[in-house]
Amino acid sequence: MNFELIEQVIKIAKQHDLLKISVECDEIKINIEMNKQNQNDKCINNAYKNSVESMDSLNELTVNDGDYMINAPLLGTVVILINNNTGEKYKVGDLITKGQAFCTIEAMKMINEITSDKEGIITQMLVTSNQFVEYDQPLIKIKENGGNNV
């Protein structure tokens, strides 16, 4: 058996990201099927890397007079979290502190916590639980607290 030929076929399959390849040469017939899991892992790892990079650059926009809009760093399904102070889901009028998670976004079976980079009062909830959001879609608007505790 010609192992060099088999190695060359495998190398070609890997180079071109082929899942399946068949080669017939003289009396030798080679069928190689690559593991689909590796292909899926590459896609998932790249998507996760991109979502983490997006989350690192959480997009906050100044609206007016100390109001900040917190936008979705990735697309997915939103779940509004329970406020530990009230025992209810976050809503307009609740205090949110810097670094506090107020919702999660599920994307590709991964849960990503969305946190606030500012302390303040929620003035608008622009999404609801189980709502699908696009990248950069506004989630909440907060009025900056200016460091005062409410």
Instruction: List the structure tokens of 27.
Output: 């009396």
Same domain? For 84 and 128 the reply is yes
pLDDT in single tens digits along all 150 residues of the chain: 567 777 777 787 777 777 777 777 777 777 777 765 544 455 555 555 555 454 444 444 444 556 889 999 999 999 999 998 888 999 999 999 999 999 999 998 899 999 998 999 999 999 999 999 999 999 999 998 764 544
Q: Does residue 75 belong to any structural domain of this protein?
A: yes
Same domain? For 87 and 29 the reply is no
Global pTM? Answer: 0.55
Ramachandran quadrant class, 74 (left: phi over 0; alpha: psi -120 to 50; beta: rest): beta
pLDDT score, position 114? 94
Same domain? For 30 and 69 the reply is no
Domain total in the chain: 2
Same domain? For 68 and 140 the reply is yes
**Tokens 């608007």 identify what position?**
141
Same domain? For 68 and 104 the reply is yes
Q: Which helix (H) or strand (E) is 54 found in, with range?
A: helix 36-56
Residue 99's domain spans which residues? Answer: 58-144
Q: Is 43 exposed, middle or buried (0-12, 13-18, 19+ CB in 10 A)?
A: exposed
Q: Does residue 81 belong to any structural domain of this protein?
A: yes
